[in-house]
Amino acid sequence: MNDSLYNTKSELGLRSLFILKELHPKFCNIDRLLYLDYLCLYVEEVKKDATNLHPKYPFQSIEVFEKRENLKKAIIELALKGLVDVETNEGLTFGCNGNTLWLLDSVETIYSEHLLRNIKLIIDETRTKTDKELKDIILYRKSNINNKFDSFYPYLEED
């Protein structure tokens, strides 16, 4: 039994559908989808005048790696149910289709509206960036000198 509250297959799958809808007609690999998902939740990492969907916390960049397996499972289920298309030209890539659009047209919540705004911002800001550059944006946060969580562990290691 999965007793996780966040980053479940359902949650990741639904957010992925929104991302794929905004990328349409382009397809995207699992890594890029993972990075875009993270960045749309923590959009302030890229766009300071935007608002995060989820609150900041000290180890949030680890989240991107922790949810990778659940995202893979979610995308496979969505593909098997015909909610995403799969291409194999350059590895596995995923894209939205008519079923994706039909499903997302029925989702109208404050959260999904905020999510969609953040996705549009992130896609516009990262359109020309490689997957590695997206990953670096996420990991850079840990070493940022101005990070408000730098003093989370105020103890210095002794030599």
- Find the mean pLDDT for residues 18-40: 96
Range from 12-21, 24-33, 114-123, 135-144 carrying the lowest mean pLDDT: 135-144
Percent of the chain with pLDDT over 90: 64
Q: Sorting pLDDT into bands at 50, 70 and 90, what band is 159?
A: very low
| Residue 152 maps to a domain | no
| Residue 80 maps to a domain | yes
| Residue 112 maps to a domain | yes
Predicted local distance difference test score (pLDDT) of residue 100: 96
**Which tokens in the block code for residue 76?**
């496979």
| Residue 52 maps to a domain | yes
Q: Sorting pLDDT into bands at 50, 70 and 90, what band is 125?
A: very high
Domain that holds residue 26: 9-143
pTM of the predicted model, to two decimals?
0.84
User: Domain tally for the chain?
Assistant: 1
Letter string b/e over residues 68-82, b meaning 16 or more CB atoms within 10 A of that residue's CB: eebbbebbbebeeee
Residue 104's nearest CA partner among 28, 29, 20 is 20
Higher pLDDT, 151 or 21: 21
Predicted local distance difference test score (pLDDT) of residue 4: 62
Higher pLDDT, 61 or 76: 76
Predicted local distance difference test score (pLDDT) of residue 66: 86
| Residue 137 maps to a domain | yes
pLDDT digits (tens, 9 = 90+) for 92-124: 999 999 999 999 999 999 999 999 999 999 999
**Which tokens in the block code for residue 93?**
């890539």
